[in-house]
A and B are shown apart, each in its own frame.
Chain A
Amino acid sequence: MEFFLQNVVNALQWGSFYALIALGYSMVYSIMMVFNFAHGDVFMTGAYIGFGTASLLLALSAALGLGLPGWTILSLTIAVSMVLTAFLGVLVERVGYRPLREAPRASAAITGLMIGIILETGNLALLGARRLSFPDLIHSTTYNLGGVFVTNKKILIVAVSLALMYALHQFIRKTRWGMAMRAMSYDFEVVPLMGVSLNVIAPLTFAVGSGLAAAAGILYGLAYPVLDPYMGVLLGWKAFVAAILGGRGSILGAALAGFLLGFIEIFVPMIFPSTLRDLIAYSIILLILTFRPYGFFGQPHSTQLRL
């Protein structure tokens, strides 16, 4: 039983990364009708921006003799990196996707892949091929809850992820932009006639998705403090699978599927050899998609015809 619960905790942590990244895929898809294949690398860039911000804050704190506690630096790092990475998302939309609004969707998807490669290789050119180790901002403490070992970092990761998802939910439900996003996920024809500009909503969607990816990057850096330029590739693809599994364009679906993916990946090696983990985990997902090709909450077809 303890063993089981232990794995639940681990699955929740992994699920948080997948869910946060999958949300960005899903949000952009619901409006642009294309998966932003640069998103995994936006996550990587977010982690690096987090690394830079944290290092800068640590240096500042030391130089000025402020002695800021790790928690403060971590909170500031998350906030600043989310904002900076959101601007990266706006840039990706402006440079990569806006000129291709009327183009076939395949062209836009290819553009996304290329932007991803540019981010990876740009990072290599800028920082070199060495790996960076994410600063240890908070000291790991382990709590023993009836035989289940939980670290403060794991609690933090899951809590911050859930809080961000709740904030996103509120944003989408309650604010005028959120409602405009939801309406635009249905059509482009009518929404502008309500006085809403696509050139505001599309970049905003990229910004929100990228901000969430940055948060995922920093949380990932806390748990696995090794950064390399290709860290976003596999994680990005897996989160993409979660977005598909949740149902293209579904926010709730993306979050749930992200966690489900975490659970499958953690629990498969309990039964099967761990070298077969991904093979079996993704076979299960393939099987689910065979029966639910549109994912959990996806629509069988979309009314949206262009962009």
Chain B
Amino acid sequence: MPLLQVSGMTHYFGGLRAVHRYHLTLEPGEIRGLIGPNGAGKTTVFNLITGIHTPTEGKVELEGRSIVGRRPHQIAALGLGRTFQNLLLWRHMTVGEHVRMAHYSQLGYGLIGALFGTPRRIAEERRVAENSMRLMEMFDVARYRDFLVGNLPYGAQRRVEMARAMAIDPKVLLLDEPTAGMTPEELVTMIGTIRQVHRDFGVAILLIEHRLKFVMELCRRIQTLVFGEVIAEGTPQEIQRNPHVIEAYLGKEEIA
């Protein structure tokens, strides 16, 4: 059974068709790339899968269970983590707080525990603290634990966002342009980080990316989205040679 299966997913914003019959079959442990020019609807696909928008039509199934129409917090708790293109961190909170906060749905203590510090809360908080430390070390941000995220270098902020996404213990990780705005050195580090996440957590990854080199490096299969439709799917080599992809990226005159 595929881990994440999307079929016939279409979405309209008013009269504008943003996504048309999008389909995806993501197997456990796979890294899949999603490329396409600006405004192709890549982020909308993420928003539809994670429940921020509800698709006008189509099916989205996580481990065989339909998740269409569920609230974002329910979908997240079922095992879908994501990061954002424009780094949505809480700038008034520290790195440690970000990672701890993301364990929210795994904590079970009640209001009594919050007010009086019951043994259950203490035990749960200790487990969360340990897991947070492990994640921060893995993403190389442990030394920034008590820093406000706004004061971190850009690449480190990206890694905090990833650590936060991994703290919900997802089965599928959706990464929206994880290298946007990065320097070439940070980019190389990010490739290593994604490989490590993939290896250590065994999580399946769907990756939106602009830089073709980066996608080619990480993914065995790539989808190309243009005007909300998948126009090509295949190995990096097939994608590179596909005339539709070249046309979408470079324009018609250049092929002729």
Contact = CB atoms under 8 A, between A and B. Distances in A.
Contacts of B115: 167, 171
A87 to B, nearest CB: 13
B71 interface: yes
Given A171-B115, A186-B91, A180 B72 contact: no
Interface in B41-98: 50, 52, 71-74, 76-77, 81-82, 84, 88, 90-93, 97
A203 B71 CA distance: 17
Given A176-B104, A180-B101, A180-B104, A193 B90 contact: no
Nearest to A299: B92
Interface of A: 167, 171, 175-180, 182-183, 185-187, 189-190, 192-198
A196 B105 contact: yes
Contacts, number: 74
Contacts of B111: 177
B70 to A, nearest CB: 11
B73 A190 contact: no
A194 B105 contact: yes
A187 B86 CA distance: 13
From A177, A190, A196, name the one whose CB has the most chain B CB atoms within 10 angstroms: A190
A196 B104 contact: yes
Nearest to B47: A189
Interface in B96-140: 97, 100-107, 109, 111, 114-115
Contacts of A187: 88, 90
A183 B88 contact: no
B101 to A, nearest CB: 4
A195 B101 contact: no
A193 to B, nearest CB: 5
Nearest to B174: A193
A194 B76 contact: yes
From B76, B106, B109, name the one whose CB has the most chain A CB atoms within 10 angstroms: B76
A197 B73 contact: yes
Contact of A183 (B72, B93, B106): B93
**A-B complex: 5 closest residue pairs judged by Cβ atoms:** A195-B105, A192-B72, A175-B114, A192-B73, A195-B77
B168 interface: yes
B11 interface: no
B164 interface: yes
Contacts of B101: 176, 179-180, 183, 194
Contacts of A179: 93, 97, 100-101, 104
A126 B89 CA distance: 49
Contacts of B93: 179, 182-183, 186
Contacts of A183: 90, 93, 101
B88 A194 contact: no
Contacts of A185: 92
A192 B90 contact: no
A46 B38 CA distance: 54
B92 A192 contact: no
